[in-house]
Chains A and B, each alone.
Chain A
Amino acid sequence: MRQFDEMYARLPEGTDVGQVRPHYEAYARWLAAQDPQVMQARREEAEVIFRRVGITFAVYGEKDDGSGTERLIPFDLIPRIIPAHEWTRMEAGLVQRVNALNRFIHDIYHKQEILKAGVIPREQIERNAQFRPEMVGVDVPNQIYSHISGIDIVRAPDADGHGEYYVLEDNLRVPSGVSYMLEDRKMMMRLFPDLFSQHRVAPVAHYPDLLLETLRASSPTTTAEPTVVVLTPGMHNSAYFEHAFLAQQMGVELVEGQDLFVKDQFVYMRTTRGPKRVDVIYRRVDDDFLDPMVFRSTSTLGCAGLMAAYKAGHVAICNAVGTGVADDKSIYPYVPDMIEFYLGEKPILKNVPTYQCRKSEDLQYTLAHLKDLVVKEVHGAGGYGMLVGPAATKAEIEQFRAALLANPEGYIAQPTLSLSSCPTFVDSGVAPRHIDLRPFVLSGRTVQMVPGGLTRVALKEGSLVVNSSQGGGTKDTWILQN
């Protein structure tokens, strides 16, 4: 299969030192001059610091082995570098895409014009488990639903061997990972300050400021000083570090469901000085757990009466309830159509060609090409419930074939993209490993983002799965300024 490497136009092999792409030249010179032992020491230093700072995530279903169920996400020392002109285009594409997605969600819960126009089949929405009938006709401030969007982007070679960016999926519910983007940069600047004096790397540290601005802009009340809180499921959640981190960086309270209560359709938190009104909730809790009176009745993570207060326009929930209807893998194939429908523009960012197994011709094609395709559950996330055809055993393929035949609507299939690689420190030295990119797009008064995003790397040789729950690591992401 054709390969695209971010750093090398031609990978080093044997005595051949390869050919470095222009935007990596300065870095490659620097790397070649480093003592391998010093680099190893830096790797160990990074791990000690991450552990001391407690930048960990919880792994579900693992036994407590004394060190707790907290794990470090492996951090790689070699940055992923993107030249300015590529970022400029990607940023424009992201703004366009997120604008269209927000228009789409508003439309779906109001006039449903896109369904009436026949662009998306009605049953795709109404039979979707992520469609929330409770949101029909509910007006939200600025008609923004997805305030924080994590758009997963991969790069794969085209027929000429040039790298082409594709959107792999949109995460519009509670996308996570931004704290690693920020901590990775902090770590790189601490370990290698000289690199930053040699490169013009666009800064990212102002993300919490942009986030706070976005959240404040979403306040439904006219108060000059809206009270913003971050709602976490608690310290046993895998992303708890990030919740605490963002609350601290924004200087707002980190609350759990038990800290909130609703009285007369207003939301309050319990404080040492009595109840305090809450205007904006940046929730890191899924829809299902937000309000036991409306959604899952056994949930203790949310707050009873929250939906009533929300519908009355007394509190903002970010992201809005019901955004899942737009980031489902069954809706993904229609995003380019949405862009044309709502904005009248050509999509700047490409989608990965997708076979919708609910269509019989797509299903037939998928079944005939299982060993070449990636098959995903429509509602799956986190790298679970997917088949990577070229890497699967015969038994795994047959197991998926049966699952597909039993429930074709539950799956989509895509060609196996050869994700671009980036040199990465592994046990045997430096070797190419596959990566992706998740920029975090903020929609408030305007759509904005910090340059770059979180680069995830599949540390296992040949693996295309970058999720932290599946042994993925992270890299600092540099947007080089001209």
Chain B
Amino acid sequence: MLSRTADHLFWMSRYIERAENTARMLNVSYETSLLPQSATAAQAGWEGILSISELLPSYLALYKNINARDVMAFMVSDADNPSSIVSCLSAARENARAVRGTLTTEVWETQNQTWLEVNRMLRSGEFERDPGQFFEWVKFRSHLSRGVTLGTMLMDEAQHFMRLGTFLERADNTARLLDVKFHAMNNDYFGSPMEGEAGEAEYDFYHWSAILRSVSGLEVYRKVYRNVIKPERVAELLILRPDMPRSLHASLNEVMANLTLVSPEAGSNTLRHAGKLRAELAYGRIDEILATGLHAYLTQFLDQVNALGGHISREFLLPQVA
């Protein structure tokens, strides 16, 4: 297939996945903000959202202080912020429109309808009236987008590049989320925990269950561990478990599978990089990762995911031939 077509398909999926993850994070912060917490704790939570997306400087250029309303406006409806939900959904639709002939009618109409609807919802004030419902809607449009792809597209290169985009973006987003939330644990995220064992347990529960819920992982956690929520188990679930659909390991498995399908031969440099990255996850252990330091580990992982994106781009999407 045309390299440019593959590029549009890859980015279409990445943008949809990014919109979904942004909605997930915002939703959890929004729900957390409804719990009793100190003003500084609340502000730290919203600041975390901005640092996950590396948007703190551009936010502060527009707004004086960090609060729920402004951060949500910036991350949802600001068309000038390229990472806002409306920007991501527009970019996904623009990419889809550029290759609409490659997509099945149902895939194209899903993207187009999402874009028409998000603009309508923002114009009519539906988002401000009920942010929670809006975030749910974004999540479900993303579910629909993946489902309609699997359900209607020929299982050829086009679909493989779309899946590749989805899972590379997901690996990136989950790693960022973990990094910021583990970092926040050192800060006074939920205000002062109550004294004693019971206080700490409560602190852990709200902090970690929020992270788990943002990746639809709370029920999964219960099922897998059948135990109280502990940070190292959360990290293990989201980094190493191959059966947790939003974990780094599961995402890299999908990246690898789709990359293998589009690679002409086994000697591909891109494939080698992806394979190495996945092997680290497949044979890694959580105690080792925590011993080296989670932040250092995740920073390195994000660099490698970024580099992998570069390899995919150079090998398949924007080849320099003449």
Q: Which residue of B lies closest to A250 (CB)?
A: B101
Q: Which residue of B lies closest to A247 (CB)?
A: B101
Tell me the minimal C-beta distance from B106 to chain A in angstroms. Answer: 11
Q: A54-B97, A235-B97, A270-B319 are in contact. List 14 more A-B contacts (CB 8 A).
A: A52-B112, A53-B105, A54-B108, A244-B99, A244-B101, A253-B1, A253-B5, A259-B3, A261-B322, A270-B4, A270-B321, A271-B1, A271-B3, A275-B321
Q: Which residue of B lies closest to A245 (CB)?
A: B101
Tell me the minimal C-beta distance from B127 to chain A in angstroms. Answer: 15
Which chain B residues border A53 with CB–CB below 8 Å?
105, 109, 112
Which chain A residues border B161 with CB–CB below 8 Å?
272
A54 and B3 within 8 A (CB): no
Complex formed: what's the CA distance from A461 to B64 in Å? 55
A127 within 8 A of B: no
A272 and B3 within 8 A (CB): yes
Which chain B residues border A253 with CB–CB below 8 Å?
1-2, 5
Complex formed: what's the CA distance from A247 to B101 in Å? 6
Q: Which residue of A lies closest to B161 (CB)?
A: A272
Tell me the minimal C-beta distance from A19 to chain B in angstroms. Answer: 43
Complex formed: what's the CA distance from A275 to B320 in Å? 11
B98 and A52 within 8 A (CB): no
Which chain A residues border B264 with CB–CB below 8 Å?
273
From B2, B262, B322, residue with most partner A Cβ within 10 Å: B2
B4 and A258 within 8 A (CB): yes
B98 and A235 within 8 A (CB): yes
Complex formed: what's the CA distance from A270 to B315 in Å? 12
Contact with B along A402-434 (1 / 0, CB 8 A): 000000000000000000000000000000000
Q: Which residue of B lies closest to A243 (CB)?
A: B101
B262 and A272 within 8 A (CB): yes
A269 and B2 within 8 A (CB): yes
A272 and B316 within 8 A (CB): yes
B3 and A248 within 8 A (CB): no
Complex formed: what's the CA distance from A270 to B317 in Å? 9
Complex formed: what's the CA distance from A244 to B161 in Å? 20
B119 and A270 within 8 A (CB): no
Contact with A along B110-124 (1 / 0, CB 8 A): 001100100100010
Contact with A along B100-144 (1 / 0, CB 8 A): 111001001100110010010001000000000000000000000
A212 within 8 A of B: no
Complex formed: what's the CA distance from A240 to B99 in Å? 11
| Contact of A54 (CB < 8 Å), options: B2, B6, B112 | B112
Tell me the minimal C-beta distance from A290 to chain B in angstroms. Answer: 19
Beyond A270-B319, A272-B262, A274-B321, whether A259 also contacts B101 by CB under 8 A is no
Tell me the minimal C-beta distance from B4 to chain A in angstroms. Answer: 5
A67 within 8 A of B: yes
B254 within 8 A of A: no
Consensus secondary structure, chain B interface: helix
A selection of 7 A-B contacts at a CB cut-off of 8 Å is A54-B97, A244-B97, A270-B319, A271-B2, A272-B157, A272-B161, A272-B316
Which chain A residues border B98 with CB–CB below 8 Å?
234-235
Complex formed: what's the CA distance from A254 to B321 in Å? 19
Interface residues of B (CB under 8 A from A): 1-6, 94, 97-102, 105, 108-109, 112-113, 116, 119, 123, 157, 161, 262, 264, 316-317, 319, 321-322
B2 and A52 within 8 A (CB): no
Tell me the minimal C-beta distance from B318 to chain A in angstroms. Answer: 9
B108 and A261 within 8 A (CB): no
Complex formed: what's the CA distance from A263 to B322 in Å? 7
B108 and A270 within 8 A (CB): no
Complex formed: what's the CA distance from A67 to B118 in Å? 11
Tell me the minimal C-beta distance from B319 to chain A in angstroms. Answer: 6
Beyond A52-B109, A52-B112, A52-B116, whether A244 also contacts B100 by CB under 8 A is yes
Interface residues of A (CB under 8 A from B): 51-54, 66-67, 234-235, 240, 244-245, 247-248, 253-256, 258-259, 261, 263, 269-275
B100 and A261 within 8 A (CB): no
Which chain B residues border A256 with CB–CB below 8 Å?
4
Which chain A residues border B6 with CB–CB below 8 Å?
272
Complex formed: what's the CA distance from A247 to B103 in Å? 12
Complex formed: what's the CA distance from A258 to B3 in Å? 10
Which chain B residues border A274 with CB–CB below 8 Å?
319, 321
- Kindly list the 9 A-B residue pairs having the minimum CB-CB distance in the complex, ordered from nearest: A248-B101, A244-B101, A247-B101, A270-B3, A272-B316, A54-B112, A244-B100, A272-B6, A254-B101
Complex formed: what's the CA distance from A263 to B97 in Å? 30
Which chain B residues border A245 with CB–CB below 8 Å?
101
B4 and A259 within 8 A (CB): yes
A52 and B4 within 8 A (CB): no
From B3, B113, B116, residue with most partner A Cβ within 10 Å: B3
Complex formed: what's the CA distance from A54 to B96 in Å? 11
Tell me the minimal C-beta distance from B149 to chain A in angstroms. Answer: 16
Complex formed: what's the CA distance from A240 to B97 in Å? 9
Q: Which residue of B lies closest to A70 (CB)?
A: B97
Beyond A53-B109, A272-B316, whether A259 also contacts B119 by CB under 8 A is no
Which chain B residues border A235 with CB–CB below 8 Å?
94, 97-98
Complex formed: what's the CA distance from A261 to B3 in Å? 13
B119 and A272 within 8 A (CB): no
Beyond A52-B112, A54-B97, A272-B316, whether A255 also contacts B322 by CB under 8 A is no
Complex formed: what's the CA distance from A67 to B97 in Å? 15
Tell me the minimal C-beta distance from B206 to chain A in angstroms. Answer: 40
Tell me the minimal C-beta distance from B66 to chain A in angstroms. Answer: 28
Beyond A259-B4, A261-B321, A271-B2, whether A248 also contacts B100 by CB under 8 A is yes
Tell me the minimal C-beta distance from A163 to chain B in angstroms. Answer: 39
Complex formed: what's the CA distance from A83 to B181 in Å? 72
Q: Which residue of B lies closest to A246 (CB)?
A: B101
Q: Which residue of A lies closest to B317 (CB)?
A: A272
From B157, B262, B319, residue with most partner A Cβ within 10 Å: B319
Complex formed: what's the CA distance from A15 to B119 in Å? 47
Tell me the minimal C-beta distance from B207 to chain A in angstroms. Answer: 40
A66 and B119 within 8 A (CB): yes
Complex formed: what's the CA distance from A399 to B236 in Å? 79
A259 and B2 within 8 A (CB): yes
Q: Which residue of B lies closest to A276 (CB)?
A: B2
Q: Which residue of A lies closest to B7 (CB)?
A: A272
